[in-house]
Amino acid sequence: MRWSLVFLMLVVPIFALPAGAEDSPWYESKNPSRDGIGKVYMGREISFVMGHLGAGWLERPDREREERTDLLVENLGLEADDVVADIGAGTGYFSFRMSSLVPEGKILAVDIQPEMLAIIEQRKAGGWENIETVQGTITDIGVAPDTVDLILMVDAYHEFSHPREMGESMVRALKPGGRIALVEYRQEDSMVPIKFLHKMTEKQARKEMEAIGLTWIETKAVLPQQHLMFFEKPAPITN
């Protein structure tokens, strides 16, 4: 069975909300599509969430070859003392790979699923002192304001049930001049073997990030299936 099919079988509606379930100016409701929750943000239906039962897929042996995760990490531009928040950290796949690149900084492995955080804690037992787990919520990443140099989101943002609130929470956590690295499967490419709602176009991603006050810096075309997009929190203007 192809890895993409395994992934699609593991997507479960952890935070599926019925249409019209909340009163917010940011969201609209529709009849849910097969892979969506019926909640629409800026024209995009939000997808189901992959639960902790999909942990094995995140750590599959072929992931580095298929997605070139090594190139992703190399292109983040990390500095030795950076504080990095890995949002939707899952099993810590990227947290552990970034840890050695920030020996004077730290990695905040953020997830809303305690089962995922427990996996990370078990993996880092007896070492990995610069990795800290953080329990987030569906509306807040749980990180103190103005403390983070880089936020990394890999194939997670499209699943947020409250993207506006989460986005604003991330902006608060970033230091002025801090960056977000947003990684999403390319929806523009029909050859990427992931279901439609689990992909994003660069245009849609930029629209949503700019709506929360971030500035697009660049999109690096280095990955075989995903966009690697960088956004910055502007520094305050001083007289």
Per-residue pLDDT reduced to its tens digit, 35-78 = 999 999 999 999 988 665 556 667 677 888 899 999 999 999 99
Domains and CATH numbers, the chain: 62-232 (3.40.50.150)
Q: How wide is the angle at C-alpha 107 spanned by C-alphas 68 and 186, nearest 5°? A: 35
Note the pTM of the prediction, 2 decimals: 0.88
Quick one: pLDDT at residue 237? 74
Model confidence band, residue 15 (pLDDT cutoffs 50, 70, 90): very low
What whole-number distance in Å separates Cα of residue 70 and Cα of residue 84?
17
Tokens of 107: 């990695």
What whole-number distance in Å separates Cα of residue 83 and Cα of residue 150?
7
The number of C-alpha atoms within 13 Å of 72 and in the hemisphere containing its C-beta is 28
Model confidence band, residue 174 (pLDDT cutoffs 50, 70, 90): very high
Predicted confidence (pLDDT) per residue in 190-227, tens digit: 999 999 999 999 999 999 999 999 999 999 999 999 99
What whole-number distance in Å separates Cα of residue 29 and Cα of residue 186?
25
For residues 49 and 14, the answer to whether their CB atoms sit within 8 Å is yes
Predicted confidence (pLDDT) per residue in 105-149, tens digit: 999 999 999 999 999 999 998 889 999 999 999 999 999 999 999
For residues 63 and 69, the answer to whether their CB atoms sit within 8 Å is yes
